[in-house]
Structure 1
Amino acid sequence: MERIPLSSYPVLSSQLIANVAYFTDFIGAVVAVLCGIIFGKYMQELHETKLWFSHIKQIEQEISLRTEAGLYYSYYKIAVHPEMSFNNTVYAFLHDNSTEFPRQINLFERFNIYQELFLALLYKFLISFQLLRDYYLPKPILFYVYSCFTFAGFGVTTLFFLAWTLTRSWLYGLLVFTWMLVNIDDSTRVFFTVNLRENFALPFFWLQNACIVVMLRRPDFILILQSISLVGMSLIIPRLSSTVTSFLLLQSCSFFLVVFAQFCQPMCIASICTTFNISSILALRLTNKIERGPVYTVLLKLACIAALTFSLSWFSRYLLNAEADSHIWAFVKAKIGLISRSSVPFESALYLCHGAFAYLDSDFFRRTSLNGCFPLFAAGIVIVGLITLYSLMKQYRDRDSVVPIFTDCFGPEIIFIVIQSILTGIVAIFTLRMKYLWFPQIAVVACIPPLMISKCSGRYVVQVVVIAAITTLLYNHYGIYKEQLANEQEFYDPDTVALMEWIKKSTQPLTSWSGSMQLMAGVKACTGRYVANHPHFEDKWLRDRTLQLYQMYGRKTPAEIYAILRTHKVDYIILEDSICLAPSTGCSTKDLVDTANGDMLEYVMSKKINSEDEPVRLRFCDRIRYADGETELYFKLVFENPTFRVYQVLDRNL
Structure 2
Amino acid sequence: MWHYRFYFVCSNLLNLRKAKYHDALNSKSNVIFFVVCIIRHHLFHLFENDRHFSHMSALEKEMAFRTEMGLYYSYFKTIIEAPTFLNGLHLIMNDRLTEYPLVINTLKRFNLYPEVVLASWYRVYSSIMDFFRIPTKMCWSINRGEGLEPVESCEGLGDPAYFYITFVFLLNGVMMSLFYVYGAYLSGSRLGGAVTVLCFFFNHGESTRVMWTPPLRESFSYPFLVLQMLLLTYILSRKPSRNAILALCVSNVVFMLPWQFAQFVLLTQVSRMAKSEQCRNTAISVALGVCFVLMFGNSMLLTSFYASSLISIWVSYTTVTLGGCLAWVVTTVILKFMLAVVLGASDDAHISSLIKSKFTSYKDFDTMMYTCAAEFDFMEVETVLRYIKTLLLPVNVLLVSIIAGRVRLHLQLLAFAVLAVLIMRLKLFLTPHMCLMASLLCSRQLFGWLGEKLKHQAAVLAILSIMAVQGVTNLQYQWGIMGEFSNLPQEELLEWIKENTPQSAVFAGAMPTMASVKLSTGRAIVNHPHYEDAGLRERTKLVYAMYSRKPVEVVKRNLISLQVDYFILEDSWCTRRSRPGCSMPEIWDVEDPQNAGKTPLCMMMSRETRPHFSTVFYNSVYKVLKVPKAARPSR
Query: What is the TM-score with the length of structure 2 in the denominator?
Result: 0.84
Alignment of 1:206 with 2:214, yes or no, is: no
Give the corresponding residue for 1:396. none
Equivalent residue, structure 1, for 2:38: 38
Map 1:20-99 → 2, pairs under 5 A: 27-81=27-81, 83-99=82-98
Q: What secondary structure is seen at the aligned counterpart in 2 of 1:198?
A: helix
Secondary structure of the residue that 1:585 maps to in structure 2? coil
1:306 is aligned to 2:298: no
**8 Å CA contact 1:229, 1:416 repeated in 2:** no
For 1:266, the equivalent position in structure 2 comes to: 299
Q: Does 1:435 align with 2:475?
A: no
Pairing 1:639–2:617 present: yes
Letter in 1 for 2:434: I
Instruction: Specify the code of the residue in structure 2 equivalent to 1:80.
Output: I
Answer with 368-377 or 422-431: which moved more.
368-377
CA shift in 2, pair 1:59/1:443, >3 Å: same
Q: Secondary structure at the match of 2:567?
A: strand
Counterpart contact for 2:308–2:336, Cα < 8 Å: yes
Partner of 1:330: 353
Q: How does 1:219-230 map to 2 (within 5 A)?
A: 219=252, 221-230=261-270
Instruction: Pick the aligned partner of 2:604 from 623, 637, 644.
Output: 623
The alignment status of 1:217 with 2:237, answered yes or no, reads yes
After TM superposition, the structure 1 = structure 2 runs for residues 495-506 of structure 1, keeping only pairs within 5 Å, are: 495-506=489-500
- Work out whether residues 390 and 470 of structure 2, in 8 Å CA contact, stay in contact via their aligned partners in 1: no
Whole-Å separation in 2 of the counterparts to 1:301 and 1:24: 51
User: Quick one: which amino acid aligns to residue 231 of structure 1?
Assistant: S
**Partner SS for 1:642:** coil
8 Å Cα contact 1:249/1:281 also seen in 2: no
Distance 1:430 1:62, change over 3 A: same
Letter in structure 1 aligned against 2:296: F
Q: Which residue number in structure 1 is paired with residue 542 of structure 2?
A: 548
Q: C-alpha displacement at 1:455, in angstroms?
A: 5.6
Give the equivalent residue in structure 1 for 2:581: 586
Q: Per the alignment, in what secondary structure is the counterpart of residue 314 of structure 1?
A: helix
Equivalent residue, structure 2, for 1:409? none
CA shift digits 1:630-651 (9 cap, x unpaired)? x534321111111110111121
C-alpha change, 1:455 and 1:256, in structure 2 (3 Å) is: farther
Question: 1:44 is matched by which residue type in structure 2?
Answer: F
Give yes or no for contact 1:163–1:444 (8 Å, CA) kept in 2: yes
Q: What residue is the counterpart of 1:352 in the other structure?
A: 371
Q: CA deviation at 1:168?
A: 2.1
Matched residue, 1:384: 403
Choose the corresponding residue for 1:448, options 440, 443, 460.
Answer: 440
Does the Cα contact within 8 Å between 1:71 and 1:524 map onto a contact in 2?
yes
User: Aligned with 1:514: secondary structure?
Assistant: strand
How big is each residue's C-alpha offset from its partner over 1:19-41, in whole Å with a ceiling of 9 and x where there is no partner?
A: xxxx9996334323322321221
Q: Kindly tell me: are residues 270 and 230 of structure 1, through their superposed partners in 2, closer, same or farther at Cα, counting changes over 3 Å?
A: closer
Instruction: Compute the displacement of 1:472 (Å).
Output: 7.0
Q: Secondary structure at the match of 1:526?
A: helix
Tell me the distance in 1 between the aligned counterparts of 2:208 and 2:237. Answer: 30
> Aligned equivalents of 1:375 and 1:503: distance in 2?
54
Aligned CA distance change for structure 1 residues 638 and 70 (closer, same or farther; 3 Å): same
Kept in 2, the 8 Å contact 1:32–1:173? The answer is no
Partner Cα separation in structure 2 for residue 90 and residue 505 of structure 1: 28
State the match for 2:592 in structure 1.
597
User: Could you tell me which amino acid in structure 2 is paired with residue 435 of structure 1?
Assistant: K
CA distance in 2 between counterparts of 1:312 and 1:26 reads 52
CA displacement, residues 557-600 of structure 1 (integer Å, 9 cap, x when unaligned)? 33322211111000000111111233583111221123211246
Q: Any conservation in 1 of the 2:111–2:295 contact (CA below 8 Å)?
A: yes
| 8 A Cα contact 1:249 1:277, kept in partner | no
Distance 1:644 1:580, change over 3 A: same
Question: Structure 1: where are the runs of 5+ without partners?
Answer: 1-22, 235-240, 288-296, 389-405, 407-414, 606-615
Q: For the Cα contact (< 8 Å) 1:78–1:84, is it kept in 2?
A: no
Q: Partner letter of residue 370 of structure 2?
A: Y
1:157-306 alignment runs, 5 A limit = 157-218=177-238, 219=252, 221-232=261-272, 241-243=275-277, 245-284=278-317, 298-306=321-329
> 1:344-423 maps to which residues of 2 (within 5 A)?
344-385=363-404, 388=405, 406=406, 415-423=407-415
**Is the 1:324–1:540 Cα contact (8 Å) retained in structure 2?**
yes
Task: Indicate the structure (1 or 2) with the bigger Cα radius of gyration.
Answer: 1
Once residues 500 and 559 of structure 1 are traced to their aligned partners in structure 2, the CA distance between those partners, rounded to angstroms, is 28
Rounded Cα–Cα distance in structure 1 between residues aligned with 2:375 and 2:265: 20
Following the alignment from structure 2 to structure 1, what is the Cα–Cα distance between the partners of residues 422 and 625? Answer: 40
Residue by residue, what CA displacement relative to the aligned partner does 1:53-88 show, whole Å, maximum 9, x if unpaired?
A: 11012211111111111110111111111x431211
- After superposition, the C-alpha distances for 1:290-338 in whole angstroms (9 at most, x for unaligned) are xxxxxxx82442243123212321221111111001111100011122x
1:443 and 1:508 map into 2 onto residues whose CA distance is 53
Separation (CA, whole Å) in 1 of partners of 2:301 and 2:593: 33
Query: Cα distance, 1:42 vs. partner?
Result: 1.0
Equivalent residues of 2:32, 2:177 under 8 A apart: yes
Conserved 8 A contact 1:40-1:150: yes
Sequence identity, in percent? 27
Secondary structure of residue in 2 paired with 1:101: coil
The unaligned stretches of length 5 or more in structure 2 are 1-22, 138-155, 239-251
Aligned to 1:15: none
The offset of 1:273, in angstroms, is 0.3
> Helix, strand or coil: the match of 1:510?
coil
Aligned to 1:294: none
Change (3 A) 1:379 1:585: same
Partner letter of residue 47 of structure 2?
Answer: H
> How far 1:480 sits from its partner (Å)?
5.8
Q: Secondary structure at the match of 1:100?
A: coil
Residues 90-127 of structure 1: CA deviation (Å, up to 9, x unaligned): 21111111000001111111110010111111111111
**2:564 counterpart letter in structure 1:** V
Please give the alpha-carbon distance, in whole angstroms, between the structure 2 residues aligned to 1:470 and 1:34.
21
**Which whole-Å deviations, capped at 9, do the CAs of 1:222-256 have from their partners, x for residues lacking one?**
5555454452576xxxxxx243x432321121122
- Please say which of residues 559-568 and 513-522 is displaced more in the overlay: 559-568
CA contact (8 A) 2:508 2:525 kept: yes
Query: After the TM superposition, which of the residue ranges 315-324 and 587-596 deviates more from structure 2?
Result: 587-596
Q: 1:28 to 1:470 in 2, by over 3 A?
A: farther
Matched, 1:318 2:351: no
Give the number of equivalent residue pairs: 566
Give the alignment partner of residue 511 of structure 2, picking from 514, 517, 520. Answer: 517
Moved more, 209-218 or 26-35: 26-35
Q: Which residue of structure 2 lines up, in the alignment, with residue 608 of structure 1? A: none
Describe how 1:549-564 pairs up with structure 2 within 5 A: 549-564=543-558
1:190 is paired with a residue whose SS is: coil
Q: Deviations over 1:148-194 (max 9, x none)?
A: 22222122122222212212222211111111112111011111111
State the 1:509 CA deviation.
1.7
